[in-house]
Amino acid sequence: MPKSLKEWCGFGMLVPQALAITFRTPVSDHIVSKLLNAHRYDVIQSHLYRVVPSSDLHSKQSSLQDVALVAYGVNITVGTPQQTVKVLLDNNFPFLFIQSADCDSSLCSSYGHSGFNSSGSSSYQDGGSGLQKFHYANVDFEGIKAKDLVGVAGLELDEQVFENVVTAKPRTFFHWYFDYNGVLGLGRLPSEYGLHSPWQSIMDRRLLTNNVISFVFPQGVRDMDSPRNNGEVSIGGYPPNFTISDYIRLPLLTREASRPGSGFSWATSLQTLTYQNQSSTLYHETFGRSAAAYFSTALPYIQLPRRWVRLIMSSVGPTEHNGFFESFPCEKRNTLPSLVFGLGNKNITLSATEYTFELKSTKRKTHNCVIALDSSDSGFSDDAENAIIGLGWPFLENFEVIFNEDELAVLLKQRVV
C-alpha cells in the first residue's frame, strides 16, 4: 500500500535519500512549468498606500493550522446546508479542488479523508464537462468541474467553480495527501483548465475594500503528533496592531503584456544572496535583472541554487535525513553564519536560528533541529541572470506576511520570538 509522508517521516524511521530528490514540493507542476517559461520580469512599483479603515484591519479571518506535516490548512464550508471541509492552503495553486464523498479510490477512505457530499447540497451544480486530470502532493486526481456555495474566512462565494474529485491514486508509494480533503488555491492567475481560484473570484466580485491576504503563521515548535493551530489567515483584513511603517515592502513582479501566461502568483525580484558571519562575508553572489524569488505557503523548503545548498550544508556538517528535512545537532545553530537575501532592492537577514527550526515528536519524546534547503536548479534556471529561488514556510514563518493585490506588493514584518 502506498505510504504517506507521515508514515515515512519519523525520528526513528528515515526516508530514503532518493525520495527527497524526486518528490520535493507540494507546489503544483503547473506553477513550476510556467515559472520555467517566465524569462523576463518587470517590477511594478507603487508609492501610494491605501488608508486602511479600522473596520477592515481584522475583519475576515480563519484559523491556520499545520496539516500533512509540511503545509498549512484551513476549514472552509461548501454547499447548502454548509458542510465543513479541511483543505490545504496554497497561495500559488490556481484553483480549488475538494474530494467527493463519491470517490471510491482506497486513498479517499484512508489517512483521515472524508468527502463532500454533493447530493446533500441544494445549491450544487454539476459542470457536465467530463473528467479533468491533474496532480498534487504526488497523487493523480480526476475531478468533475462543479459549482457550489463556498465559504472562506467569513466570505460566501455563490457558484464558486471547483474540481469535485472522484478518483485519487498515488503516483508512487510516497505521497503527502493526508489529513486534508482538498486544496484551496489562492493563485492570482487562471489555471490551464480555465478554472478561477477563490481569490480571483473575490477580486472579480469586488467583495473587499482592501484586496489583501494576511498571514500570521503558527508559532512554537512544529510537533509531528500535535499540529499547531494558533495561526491565522485574514482575507481582506490586516494582522492585529497593523502599522505600515513596521513592514518591509517588496514590489511584485509581473509581465503586463502576457500576464495570463507568466506563471507565478506572488514573486519579487532577486538581487543578491550573501552568507556571512559577524566578522566577514563568506560568500556573495549578484543576480541578473530577470532573477526572481517566489513565496509559497505550501513549499517545505527554502529553494536555492545548488551551489548555495552545498555551501550552507558544508557549514552544517553531518546530518541525518528525515523526510523533507535534514536533522543536525541543535548546539550548532548558534555557530552557523547568517543568510542575507537581497529581495525587491531590500536586504533581509535570517540568522541560523531563523532559517533552521525545531521539530519534535511528543509520542516518541524526541526533539531535533532541522534544516530545510532544496536545490532550485533541478527545476529552475540556475544561471545568475535568470535564477529563481523559492521561499517556502521555513522562510515565511519568520514574518507576518501580507500579499497586497492593490499595491502589487508583498509586505513582511519580522516576528519577535
Between strands 182-185 and 96-99, the pairing is antiparallel
Query: What's the rounded Cα separation, in Å, for the pair 198 and 251?
Result: 23
Whether residues 313 and 344 fall in one domain: yes
Whether residues 216 and 276 fall in one domain: no
Query: What's the rounded Cα separation, in Å, for the pair 100 and 173?
Result: 23
Position 37 scores a pLDDT of 39
For 47, the 3-state DSSP assignment is: coil
Average pLDDT over residues 72-78: 96
114 assigned to some structural domain: yes
pLDDT in tens, 247-272: 999 999 874 422 334 457 899 999 99
Position 56 scores a pLDDT of 47
DSSP line for 158-216: EEEEEEEEEEEEESSSEE---S-SEEEE--SS--TTS---HHHHHHHTT--SS-EEEEE
Residue 248 domain boundaries: 32-44+238-414
Largest Cα–Cα distance in the chain? 66
Between strands 174-175 and 3-4, the pairing is parallel
Whether residues 112 and 161 fall in one domain: yes
22 assigned to some structural domain: no
Q: Fill in the amino acid letter for 251.
A: P
Whether residues 145 and 169 fall in one domain: yes
End-of-domain residue from the set 210, 234, 258: 234
CATH of the domain at 348: 2.40.70.10
Q: Which helix (H) or strand (E) holds 285?
A: strand 281-286
DSSP line for 211-246: -EEEEE---S-EESSS----EEEEES---TT--GGG
Whether residues 188 and 243 fall in one domain: no
Q: 220 Cβ partners below 8 Å, 6+ apart? A: 228, 230
Whether residues 113 and 127 fall in one domain: yes
Query: To the nearest whole number, what is the mean pLDDT of the chain?
Result: 82
Give me the residues paired with residue 163 across strands: 97, 145
pTM: 0.84
Whether residues 100 and 243 fall in one domain: no
pLDDT of 169 > 80? The answer is: yes
Whether residues 197 and 336 fall in one domain: no
Q: Cell digits for 176?
A: 503527502
Position 174 scores a pLDDT of 85
pLDDT in tens, 137-148: 999 999 999 999
Average pLDDT over residues 35-55: 35
End-of-domain residue from the set 234, 263, 287: 234
260 assigned to some structural domain: yes
Q: Which helix (H) or strand (E) holds 327?
A: strand 325-328
Position 19 scores a pLDDT of 27
Whether residues 63 and 147 fall in one domain: yes
- What's CA 146's distance to the chain center, in Å? 25
pLDDT in tens, 294-332: 999 999 999 999 999 999 999 999 999 887 899 999 999
Candidates 79, 155, 83; CA nearest to 123 is 79
Total domain count, the chain = 2
DSSP line for 329-359: -GGGGGGSPEEEEEETTEEEEE-HHHHEEEE
For 148, the 3-state DSSP assignment is: strand
Whether residues 205 and 318 fall in one domain: no
End-of-domain residue from the set 234, 256, 276: 234
Position 18 scores a pLDDT of 27
Average pLDDT over residues 50-54: 39
For 261, the 3-state DSSP assignment is: helix
| Locus of grid cell 480571483 | 200
pLDDT of 10 > 70? The answer is: no
